[in-house]
Amino acid sequence: MVKLAVNGGEPVAKDLSRMIPRWPLLDEDDVKVVVEAIKGGHWCRLYPGSYAERFEAEFAKYHDAKYGIAVANGTVSLELALKTLGVGLNLGDEVIVPAYTFIATASAVTEVGAIPVFADVDPKTGNIDPKDVEGRITERTRAIITVHFGGYPADMDALTSIAKKHGLYLIEDAAHAHGSEWRGRKVGAIGDMGSFSFQESKSLTAGEGGIVLTNSDELAERARLIHNIGRVIGQPGYIHYILSSNYRLSEIQAALLLSRLGKLPSEVKVKNENGKVLADMIKRTGVVEPTGNDDRVTVRGYYYFVMLYKPEELNNIPKEVFIEALRAEGVPVGVSYGPPLYKQPAFKRENLVKSIPKYILDRMPNYERLNLPGAEEFARRELVLPHYLLLAPREAFELVVAAIEKIKEHVDELQQSVNRLKVSDATIDTTYHR
């Protein structure tokens, strides 16, 4: 008799883990260039022709941008973009951010002395809802940050139109979206500035790191000044033109990124094609459905393969129970970030007083009263698979589908087990850090 693996049966996808590439990817070329960087004796970028300088130029070119400024991680890349645009210089500056994403999108705003204002997201994609954005604009709004969630580009037509109409800056948080395209143009420099992360789980990684992109000569010059403690790279001596901090990326990380960047386009192509195949396959199960279906999204770079759970197809089994059953069958499924950001403990008033100056805190909204329907629905239904599963053979996708169908076929058995299942933390193990 066939039993669900969560109840002691044989996992139907037990061979899946052997098919999925180990992440992060690494080859001899990567090792060679890192060793060369170490032996070269210049571990900081402050010399002509540095690895960081070369990587900035190559990544910017790949992402259809004029300029790139490499930094220590993806969180500070957002902070650098905000500071470059002058956000936070005026008391009460507001930045509209999506209510469902990694916390750095919002915490970067508070780090520059501004106030994050949460906008709802599209429950079908997790991306910020342009209509809700426009309704939250005030005389204090300085910028909009949009996240290309999971690598699926946000509606850049609507967002650029809104930003232009209201005289606002548009920042793209593209930490998920290496290689993603909107209308044939890569994301990251469609708005005023873009931010990427190279943390270990990202599609392009050096363990940590980030980059800011822009097409503006003026913004690029100012970003470089801010990221280098107010010094001009290439000028000798200790002349500092502004007060700032050190955001620089190390040469060893830059060398690794430069090597891995050469493989990124082919990986993006494979993931984009395989993502379409997997989406069609899982949709036929009826239990989950893929997110997004916009013809203007011409390439999906993928950080997550995002799915939406349909509990009504499984006798309203809780999502957490479905995740545990699917994991037991051998599928590395999880959720991305859990609750909407306004439900994070960090946004409780009692915790904000510990980290936010009173003169800013007094102007902040009461986040605990928020309840945004799109974000709530997306949080209830969202499931994710890691992007590197899309680099596996297509037989791997068949195992994912087989596991879902097995659970659907034996849903009565799972229903009987709900009360005794120990539901584990469903957050996917490729925890997102900037």
Q: Which of 51, 102, 152, 388 is catalytic?
A: 102
Starting at the edge strand that comes first in sequence, how are the strands of the sheet with 169-173 ordered? 67-71, 210-214, 193-197, 169-173, 141-147, 94-98, 115-119
Active site residue 47: no
Active site residue 42: no
Cα–Cα distance between 71 and 50 in angstroms, integer? 14
Active site residue 14: no
E strands, 243-303, are: 288-290, 297-299
| CB contact at 8 A, 214 and 66 | yes
CA angle 288, 290, 294 (to 5 degrees): 150
**In sequence order, what are the residues at sequence separation of 6 or more whose Cβ sits closer than 8 angstroms to the Cβ of residue 387?**
151, 203, 271, 302, 303, 304, 305
Cα–Cα distance between 51 and 33 in angstroms, integer? 10
Cα–Cα distance between 402 and 7 in angstroms, integer? 17
Q: Which of 83, 148, 178, 202 is catalytic?
A: 202
Three-class SS of residue 384? strand
Q: Which of 329, 304, 322, 251 is nearest to 38 (CA)?
A: 251
Q: Which of 63, 142, 186, 231 is catalytic?
A: 231
Bridge partners for 415 per DSSP: none
- Long-range Cβ contact pairs of 120-124 (< 8 A, separation 24 or more): 120/372, 120/373, 120/374, 120/375, 121/149, 121/372, 121/374, 121/375, 121/378, 122/374, 122/378, 123/373, 123/374, 123/375, 123/377, 123/378, 123/381, 124/291, 124/292, 124/308
Active site residue 344: no
Q: Which of 142, 176, 271, 406 is catalytic?
A: 176
Structure tokens at 95: 């930045």
Cα–Cα distance between 97 and 143 in angstroms, integer? 9
Bridge partners for 297 per DSSP: 182
DSSP 307: E
Single-letter code of the amino acid located at 335: V
Q: What is the 3-state secondary structure (H, E, C) of 179-218?
A: CCEECCEECCCCCCEEEEECCCCCCCCCCCCEEEEECCHH
Three-class SS of residue 383? strand
Q: Which of 132, 155, 173, 192 is catalytic?
A: 173
Q: Which of 22, 39, 238, 422 is catalytic?
A: 238
Q: Which of 59, 199, 302, 309 is catalytic?
A: 199
Q: Which of 178, 248, 271, 434 is catalytic?
A: 248
Active site residue 416: no
Active site residue 176: yes
Active site residue 173: yes
Q: Rounded to the nearest 5°, which phi and psi values hold at 238?
A: -115, 65
Active site residue 102: yes
Cα–Cα distance between 71 and 208 in angstroms, integer? 9
Cite the active site residues. Answer: 102, 173, 176, 199, 202, 231, 238, 248
